[in-house]
Structure 1
């Protein structure tokens, strides 16, 4: 019997060393949770066996359970690298259209070729859908959706109204010669305004200001005038029912007396679009004061289609995309799952776990709510393996193995002695 007792000890020590070796092998694996082997003694007894004379029959592996303690935190430069501090798991789907859901603590996510947010194994991160205001509209594991980043935002709108509020220096001199936009000596100032065509393409509208007459400072009723030439690219804009340029008139105090309403221009067709476009220019807030030229206000009502520029994830797990046109869009809230008994989860490899009858069904929630930990963006949870602790455990397991091997050798020697007895 002692032979088999020592053999069970050897097997238990071998199992312990295998578990420890696996922990050490995954010391750099993100989201890895170390395992602990537990053992129990074996007793063979019957009703007739005296409780004071019972001898054990060795040991068996009782369980190999995972320790879901917090792993080390590593800082990252990616907003899609997520780490859970406390309880909870990310829910991911290995197949975009499948129903299988796995759970992981490895939160290193990236964007694939189809703009889906996936982990290092290509599984889709699950989020709760939200409405336009960012409010969650559905909960539950069966209602989560794959997180996908949109390519654009908004609808292209052609510019139809431009408003400029400028100050023209009352001390400016009148240029000599006819206006030539390629000759800066023929105009006093210019300013460029970005407008958009019907496809959302940016165009440059340039306004050139040329002083024509100066007011008589001795006459309070005297006025001064400026001509404004407007171009979109190489196309000169012509006022509807009139001719270019637009004439601005100021009184002796520098207040604009005309035009006091927006000036409409004949439609033109930009080279980047096939649709004709009409524009009006409002200069009503302009002034003529003894100070340098400046643009006090500039507005236009066109809009380009916004291109995705970045994505952020807040501490509640809300994923928000930002676009080049200034739009922001909530895309979903990261779904977290928890279990009544995480140690009952089935390991699948690649940092994945699956629920079992021992773990219980997953409870879904979100970060910073009851039963769930906090979520950090730009962080990755590493392994919770302590190298020093594992090496000490490995030495202890090795000593246990050597001790059981020695006991086995002693049992063998005793058996050999008995076999060598002669009558």
Structure 2
């Protein structure tokens, strides 16, 4: 009987050696949780056996459990490297986004050629859907989506209005008459001839496809105060893509300034007739608003402010993830898109999770269902972007345990050897 008892001890010591060896081997695995072997003694008895004379029958491995104490956190240069400070697991879905969801503490995420965010095993990071301002819509695991970074913002906006404030020089001369002078056209404006305008400025605008267009505004002084009309007169010409914009089929915006140099006409934004951009897309309907800051004062021509409300498709510029797990993408056109919140879960009994490799686990009846929520709330740890959680294996502890397991193995082997010697002695009795 002692022979078989020693075998159980050898088996147990061998299991412990293998577990410790696995811990040591994974000391460099991000998010790895060390395992610990739990043993129980084996007792064989019968109803009629004297309880005070019961002899054990060895040991058995009752469980190999993970120790979920947090490992040390180190900084990283990648915004997609994530760590959870506190309880929780990242939710990831199998390669290609198929299969069951598994859970991991390994936050070393990267990106595939098709821009999905994946872990080292190719499983896609899952996100809870949110509103555009980052508010959580649902924390149901069945509603998660795979994290994917868009290459472009994909939402160009055509310019609909230009707001401009300038100062036109009060001493500007009236443009002299041209050879094609007529009673209704005392001068002929030509954007290619600087002699036909006093000043000019420009701004880049965008069509509905996000193509840039140059909008050039030319100012021509056409009149000075006269009896019965004390206003200074100018005309503004707007040329977009080589074509002059018109209002009701007429080119030019008449402008009037009072004797103090304040703009009195037009008093609001002027809307031009629609034009079809050369690059295609929807017709462009543009307005020009000089506002109340446009003046005619002494001094040179100056532009105080100019802005337009269009923008092109932007290229992905940066990615950020805050403590609550909100994933945002910034683009070169200034647009910021909220892609979702990193799905995080905790368990009532994490030791009941089943290991599936790559520092990942799946749900079992012993672990209980996943309890999901927003990072940083209701007992779930907050997310640290640009950080990685290292393995929680302490080499000093493991090496000491390795020596102890080795000694246990040797002691059981010695007991087995002793039992064999006794058996041989009995067999050799004459």
Displacement of 1:324 = 4.1
Mapped pair 1:405 → 2:410: no
Q: Over residues 232-264 of structure 1, what are the superposed CA-to-partner deviations in whole Å (9 max), with x where a residue is unaligned?
A: 3444445655455x5655445332344445455
* Residues 56/230 of structure 1: CA separation in 2 closer, same or farther (3 Å cut): same
Please report how far the alpha carbon of residue 70 of structure 1 lies from its aligned counterpart in structure 2 after TM superposition. 0.8
Q: Deviations over 1:248-294 (max 9, x none)?
A: 55445332344445455565443312655343333243123446654
Alignment check: 8 A CA contact 2:269 2:289 kept: yes
Q: Work out the CA distance in 2 between the residues paired with 1:344 and 1:269.
A: 66
State the Cα distance separating 1:306 from its structure 2 match. 4.8
Question: Pairwise mapping of residues 165-314 of structure 1 onto structure 2 (< 5 A)?
Answer: 165-170=165-170, 190-209=200-219, 228-237=236-245, 241-243=249-251, 248-263=255-270, 265=272, 267-273=274-280, 276-285=283-292, 286-290=294-298, 293-314=301-322
Contiguous gaps of at least 5 residues in structure 1: none
Match of 2:376 among 368, 373, 378: 368
**Count of residue pairs the alignment pairs up:** 418
Aligned residue runs from structure 1 range 65-144, under 5 A: 65-94=65-94, 98=98, 100-144=100-144
Give secondary structure in 2 for the equivalent of 1:399: helix
Residues 262 and 15 of structure 1, relative CA distance in 2, 3 Å threshold:
closer
In structure 2, do the counterparts of structure 1 residues 284 and 204 end up closer, same or farther at CA, with 3 Å as the change threshold? same
* In structure 2, distance between residues paired with 1:302 and 1:398: 73
Instruction: Please tell me whether residue 382 in structure 1 is matched to residue 410 in structure 2.
Output: no
**Runs of 5+ unmatched residues, structure 2:** 179-188
Which secondary structure does the structure 1 equivalent of 2:159 belong to?
Answer: coil
Structure 2 partner of 1:13: 13
2:92–2:103 contact (8 Å) kept in structure 1: yes
| d(CA) in 1 for partners of 2:176, 2:335 | 46
- Confirm or deny: 8 A CA contact 1:333 1:366 kept in the other structure: yes
Give the Cα separation in 2 of the matches to 1:6 and 1:275. Answer: 86
* 1:14 partner SS: helix
Q: Distance in 2 between matches of 1:417 and 1:405?
A: 18
C-alpha distance after superposition, 1:45-68 (max 9, x if no partner): 445555554443332222211111
- 1:146 corresponds to: 146
Q: Return the offset for 1:89.
A: 1.8
Distance change (3 Å), C-alpha of 1:275 and 1:343: closer
Q: Residue 357 of structure 1 aligns to a residue in which SS?
A: coil
Give the Cα separation in 2 of the matches to 1:274 and 1:312: 33
* Mean Cα deviation higher: 109-118 or 336-345: 109-118
Is 1:316 the counterpart of 2:324? The answer is yes
**Cα offset, 1:96, TM superposition:** 5.5
Which residue in 1 is equivalent to 2:404?
396
TM-align CA RMSD = 3.8
Contact 2:13–2:408 (CA under 8 A) maintained in structure 1: yes
